[in-house]
Amino acid sequence: MAQEVVEKKGGYEPKRKKDDYELQLGLFDIVFPWFIPVKGMVWIGSKLKRTAQEEETDEGRIQEQLLNLQMKFEMDEITEEEYDRKETQLMDKLEAIRKYKEEYE
């Protein structure tokens, strides 16, 4: 997947996504200092959103759960019906993650 770049004085840097919000202070913050806490809350919210989204779209976590499920089945800790049901659920989650990544990344 190629990353877009933008030309900047002194070189190039990756193009930022809209939700990549950085906490920056400037002249506006000197003139209106009471907005600084609001900007801080927006920054924290964007970081929490990005972290939650990364956790929800982590294929590795689902694959690890599939391996654990298979190991439990092979060690006769769960029945075949329970294995099939849970495997179907996990495969559906994995497919949904992959579709989401195709659409939005």
The predicted pLDDT at position 42 comes to: 87
Ramachandran class of 63: left when φ > 0, alpha when ψ lies in -120 to 50, beta otherwise: alpha
**pTM of the predicted model, to two decimals?**
0.56
pLDDT lower than 70: segments of the chain: 1-23, 105
H/E stretch holding 95 reads helix 80-104
The predicted pLDDT at position 65 comes to: 94
The predicted pLDDT at position 32 comes to: 80
Tell me the domain boundaries of the chain: 59-104
